[in-house]
Amino acid sequence: MKFPFYFLILFFTSIMVSAAKPEKPFDELYRSQFHFTPEKNWQNDPNGLVFYKGEYHLFYQYNPLGKKWGYMHWGHAISADLVHWKHLPIALFPDNDSKDSVECTAFSGSGLVDENNVTGLQSGDEKTLLLFYTSQKCGQRLAYSNDKGRTWQKYAKNPIIAYNETDDARDPKVFWHEGSNQYVMVIYRRPNNNDKQKGVSFYTSKNLIDWEFKNHIPGFFECPDLVELPVNRRSDDKKWVLFDGDGSYVIGSFDGEKFVTETPKIKSDFGANYYATQTWSNIPENDGRTIQIAWMKGGEFPGMPFMGQMTFPCELSLTKFVEGIKLVRKPVKEIALLHWKGEVWENKNLIPGINKNLAHGIKGDCLHIKGSFKLKTVDSFGFVVRLDKKQNGTEMVYNTKTSTLTCLGKSAVVEPIDGVLKLEILLDRSSLEIFANDGKVVMSSCFVPDDNAFGLYLFNTGGELFVEKLEIYPMKSIWWEEK
């Protein structure tokens, strides 16, 4: 009887050891599988977005000491395709050997390739990569790399703009302005400690080191960005778009020194978690895209080793509508690299109570959903994602009477076009991004679903809904090579 008893002990011991094994890294319960997250600890604003020799660089506000804000460094990752990310060592550390949680820590900023070595910092064959950042209460500073961003040095004569205790300057975005043949820095400032003057200041430079103040426009707060975009993709009709920290924007003209507004401030995202937008610099001309990413501010990830995630990268464009020119935002085309084999339905007429749940066979916590819906006599329709066996889940619903799209407590007006509403939905383990009518209206939110809820439900109430086309793709993880 000794042998059976011995094997019984081994059996239960193996079960206990197996149950005690930690979760697989980057595969935790609320770890987004196709949105960027740090391996561990706190993350917020995207910083230093720059493209060089086939690599998209993503830097971000990072606290290596824990899951709360503070002790800001710049984390660093690279990607060849905007979807699969490789984590690299921390790029920027606090200045002056600061051990304080705020003073001289590396706040937000931007990146640029010094194509013509105007800084004189290039020391080899590689072009110099530059990072412009705020060293909090220690001025605007510069760091550089001559090895494709693998190692970074601080500029010996920092700061390039001295700290001024009366203006709270931070978050410099630097770019080349072709029209005026100079570099431009847009930076948040609060001149003379006057809250009414909170806004964006414009500086110019020929050598990326010596900067001259030119102008200031009030009405903005933190993390500015300024990009030029064609209207309706016409190269002969372009406008400048000035972004605020919350992603809202103003369209206007810019001559290299002064921005002239042509619209009121327009909201760009109607979800619960969207902040600190930034666009990549030095995208090749043969690509031509303006690509933006943001921090999903306020997201919760209970029990996870990390705190914070980014939105999925999106391409920006300007489109002229009846009501005026608006920014349009859509997921980058590289998202298709993450598709598993999906399901497609076309020309399906749904009647309440008869054609129940067209997508009943779809299960998953990571899905890419694209649909075109003709609003025949339907009162409302939508999806319930992460549906459990008790029919609980997260609902997104479109009300045809009010033309309102609602999800996770947030709503936005979306007018159908010729009686048709288009929806594109990115469902990840802890986030939902909804793009309505080809990205005219966007809602980005984080959520915490039930553990064992994987169902998907397409519903309609009050009348008929005609599905012109519906595509649903399970998504691959960006962290693992899956077969």
Q: List, by residue number, the catalytic residues.
A: 45
Strands 404-407 and 128-135, by their bridges, are: unpaired
Distances (CA, A) of 143 to 92, 121, 160: 8, 10, 11
DSSP SS3 for 206? coil
Q: What's the rounded Cα separation, in Å, for the pair 397 and 458?
A: 10
Q: What's the rounded Cα separation, in Å, for the pair 169 and 287?
A: 33
Amino acid at site 374: K
* CA-based nearest residue to 271, from 291, 241, 295: 295
The single residue listed with the structure tokens 């909201």 is 267
Q: Name the token pair of 110.
A: 């931007």
Q: What's the rounded Cα separation, in Å, for the pair 62 and 307?
A: 10
Q: What is the 3-state secondary structure (H, E, C) of 397-434?
A: EEECCCCEEEECCEEEECCCECCEEEEEEEEECCEEEE
Q: In the chain, what's the furthest Cα-to-Cα distance?
A: 91
Residue 472: CB atoms within 10 A of its CB come to: 23
What b/e sequence results for 451-464 when a residue is b if at least 16 CB atoms lie within 10 Å of its CB, and e otherwise? Answer: eebbbbbbbbeebb
Q: Which residues contact 303 (CB under 8 A, 6 or more apart)?
A: 28, 29, 30
Q: Is 149 left (phi over 0), alpha (psi -120 to 50) or beta?
A: left
Got the DSSP string for 2-70? Answer: HHHHHHHHHHHHHHHHHHHSPPPTT--TT--SSS---SSEEEEEEEEEEEETTEEEEEEEEETT-SSS-
Amino acid at site 300: E
Q: What's the rounded Cα separation, in Å, for the pair 36 and 38?
A: 7
